[in-house]
Amino acid sequence: MDKKQVLDLWPDYVLGQLPENVKEAIDLFLENNPETKAELADWDPILKELDSELKLPSKNMDIVFYENLQNESGTQIENRKNQPKVFRLQPWLIGIAASIVLVLGFFLGKGWNSENLGTGDTLGVTHEELKAAEQETNDVRTQLVMSLADQPSATKRLEALSEVKKLDSTTDKVIEALFKMLNTDPNVNVRLAAVTSLSKYVENPIVREGLVMSITQQESPLVQIALAELMVTLKEQKSINSMETLLKKPNINEAVKEKLEESIKEII
Amino acid sequence: MNTLTDNTIMLAVKNGEIDRLGLLYERYKVWVYNFFLQSNHDSELSEDLLQNVFMRILKYKHTYTEDSKFVTWMFQIARNVNHDHFRKNKKHIETMDLDKVNYKKEDGKGIEAEIELKESKNLLQQALDRLSLEKREVIILSKLKELKYKEVGAILGCTEDTARTKAHRALKELKTVYLNLQKQ
């Protein structure tokens, strides 16, 4: 590389448009040619400023976006409902459907099994790609749940709980957020909805244990009753101790007392 | 990472799976946000403009074709949003500038305020502000990671070579303005 080439390529260098090897060649040239480096020195502050890190938008922007998306999604469902319920297929759709039937027929005829389909790129999208996309959707939704769960508005926290229902799989972080809502949320509706959301994960022993422990922490009769009902459904023996502890509390609500006694009997 | 391409996702959005737009939003929100932020230096406004871009993507999803490249198409929309905002607010910005002049004359503290503003505001931002919107955009787009002149050209509606020439000219002007500001 010579000086003329370096000067010709310099704007592309500043704008980050060069391949790594060309960029390195220019860096090397400048190191060995201090006079050219000095000639280009007045670019230094511009280069530095233009190379600064990208800034991150606020969390609120995500909330607004997903709210808008949810609204749009709702509008679309409404529009579909209002359409006359006549089954219409566009010609191109018939074509695609026919192709899918043909391709599937071909594979079935050949005796292909699901493992073969998993490794091949037969329909343009591989099994791994689909799985990765599903995982990505799940990650995005988890992120949304976490943002909404932290909001000061109870409506937003309820939205977080409704998003949890759409998750295919959950993470420890989400479970932790759900327990935080169940045990510390000032709004009783949020705490009740958290019971419902957590009831989806009762196969997880940590969730079961957390629910049992939560019984004694609850002050609201509604949440106490909801938890007692869940324990009966699960036939959870470990909850008996917690319910008995709750029964010993002096200011216990009469309806709750009856419910707990009834629940203990049912579990035993 | 083995994920679906932008194109596949956008075609799914076009076919009614609009929830999928969240994936594209997560992939590109930082880019689009910075495209606006570097142009107007207002974080709140940039977030609003970004929302506009994604809402327009939904509104005009039927115009997206299999041959489109999502990033290019998205930035074309972002440019339109930017230009619309600039046009709508041009009058307002001019009025604001006049207000500033009046303020200076009335209380005599204008010069001090101006010095403070100069110190706090990044010199490069000031230099970028003095370029035309198109020149500013060509620099910001060319500088965005992974956008090459070919894509920049597609966004601006010109060839790769023209995009390169435009970017070089804009950069040259930026440097002149920057050095002038430095001397002041």
Distance CA A146, CA A78 (A): 28
More confident residue, A244 or B101: A244
Please give the structure tokens belonging to residue B60: 């005009």
What pLDDT does B108 receive? 47
User: Which one of A136, A137, A163 would you mutate to disrupt binding with B, by most B Cβ within 10 Å of its Cβ?
Assistant: A136
Is A56 an interface residue toward B (CB < 8 Å)? Answer: yes
Both structure tokens of B70: 């999502």
Asked if residue B104 has pLDDT above 50, the reply is: no
Instruction: Check B50 against A16: CB less than 8 A apart.
Output: no
- Cβ-Cβ contacts under 8 Å, A143 against chain B: 26
Instruction: Report, as ranges of residue numbers, the positions in chain A whose pLDDT lies below 70.
Output: 75-125
Predicted confidence at residue A79, as pLDDT, reads 61
- Averaged pLDDT, B15-19: 86
Distance CA A110, CA A121 (A): 16
Q: Which of A50, A65, A140 lies closest to B51 in CB terms?
A: A65
Rounded Cα distance between A11 and A24, Å, is: 15
User: What's the pLDDT at B105?
Assistant: 39
Which of B13-27, B66-80, B117-131 is the least confident region?
Answer: B117-131
Q: Is the CB of A28 inside 8 Å of chain B's CB atoms?
A: no
What average pLDDT score do residues B54-71 get?
A: 91
How would you label A146-161 residue by residue, b for 16+ Cβ within 10 Å and e otherwise?
Answer: bbbbebeeeebbbbbb
Interface touch A15/B55, C-beta < 8 Å: no
Q: Flag whether pLDDT at B34 surpasses 50.
A: yes
Q: Is residue B51 within 8 angstroms of chain A, CB to CB?
A: yes
Mean pLDDT for chain B? 82
The answer to whether A14 contacts chain B (CB < 8 Å) is yes
Inter-chain CB proximity A65 and B54 less than 8 Å: yes
* pLDDT surpasses 50 at B173: yes
pLDDT of residue B111: 58
Q: Which residue has the higher pLDDT, B20 or B108?
A: B20
Of B110 and B145, the structure prediction assigns the larger pLDDT to B145
In chain A, residues with a C-beta closer than 8 Å to the C-beta of B21 are 69
- Here the tokens at position A28 are 């090397």
B170 near A CB under 8 A: no
Query: pLDDT tens across B73-95, in order?
Result: 999 999 999 999 988 876 544 44
Chains A, B: CB contacts within 8 A come to 116
The pLDDT score that the predictor gives to residue A172 is 85
pTM above threshold 0.80: no
